[in-house]
Amino acid sequence: MKILVCISHVPDTTSKINFVESNSQFDTNGVQYVINPNDEFGLTRAIWFQEKQGATVTVVNVGGPETEPTLRKALAIGANQAIRVNATPTDGFFVAKQLAHVIQTGEYDLVIAGKESLDYNGGMVPGMLAGILGYNFLNSCTELTIEATAVTAVREIDGGKETVTTSLPLIIGGQKGLVEEKDLRIPNMRGIMTARTKPLTVVEAVDTPTTTKAISFDKPAPKSAVKLIAADNLDELINLLHNEAKVL
């Protein structure tokens, strides 16, 4: 089984977010980047298939040279090889077209993407991929088992979960639950050293028009100041909760 794991290069969730160029572009200065958390769950599940069922695992990213440390981390975790599509990811459709070309070239059986990246939260690439390629598709996937070409999966739905069966080739939009958080892999020294010798192939992008463009970004309004009430002043606390916060 050949597995392709799509890796997004996203800011660490603890990073301070700012915008430049009249709030139209993300300010990358001083930002630490990591593997998109939803993708990390998918990568760990792919490594499980590698260890238990002999699958080969390739990771792919659409981005510039600055994303290669993130791909090397994925290799250190256990992926066999990496591919970087040498292009700036302008929008979801552009990324999906680049990934679709990689998938068609490599003839992968299973494609694992995060249901969304935690930078722009578009949530569109896995579904677009399936539409372009005509593959089966499952979004919000939290469990995945495969026997030969038969697939059983669980996905989150409003108010519960749904268990479904399908077949390969398959694209999933994965998330937390594909593996337990405690099972996420931290690269060890051997993995880091081995990752340096694993192949990281750079391919040029296929010609694809950009269909959408971000006009501007607005950060959430700052939180209002906190009022501190003395522990023994219950009357004032009740007054504020009732008349100002209006929660009583």
Q: How many whole angstroms separate alpha carbon 234 and alpha carbon 214? A: 49
The pLDDT value recorded for residue 210 is 85
Query: Beta strand 136-147 with 150-157: parallel, antiparallel or unpaired?
Result: antiparallel
Tally the residues of the chain: 248
Burial 194-229 (b: 16+ CB within 10 A, else e): ebeebebeeeebeebeeeeeeeeeeeeeeeeeeeee
Q: Quick one: tokens of 189?
A: 């020294």
Give pLDDT < 50 ranges for the chain: none
Question: Do residues 96 and 6 lie in contact, with contact meaning Cβ atoms separated by under 8 Å?
Answer: no
For residue 114, with 0-12 CB atoms within 10 Å meaning exposed, 13-18 middle and 19 or more buried, which class applies?
Answer: buried
Q: How many whole angstroms separate alpha carbon 45 and alpha carbon 43? A: 5
The pLDDT value recorded for residue 247 is 85
Question: Do residues 5 and 58 lie in contact, with contact meaning Cβ atoms separated by under 8 Å?
Answer: yes
The pLDDT value recorded for residue 219 is 86
Q: Quick one: tokens of 182?
A: 């405690």
Of 88, 89, 5, 97, residue with least CA distance to 44:
5
What pLDDT digit, counting tens, does each position of 201-234 carry?
A: 999 999 998 888 889 999 888 888 888 889 899 9
The pLDDT value recorded for residue 17 is 87
CATH class for the domain made up of 2-220? alpha beta
The pLDDT value recorded for residue 120 is 86
Domain residue limits, the chain: 2-220
The pLDDT value recorded for residue 221 is 85
The sign of the CA dihedral 184, 189, 190, 191 is positive
The pLDDT value recorded for residue 220 is 85
Residue 222: is the preceding peptide bond cis (ω within 30°)? no
Q: How many whole angstroms separate alpha carbon 16 and alpha carbon 27? A: 10
Percent of the chain with pLDDT over 90: 81
For residue 21, with 0-12 CB atoms within 10 Å meaning exposed, 13-18 middle and 19 or more buried, which class applies?
Answer: exposed
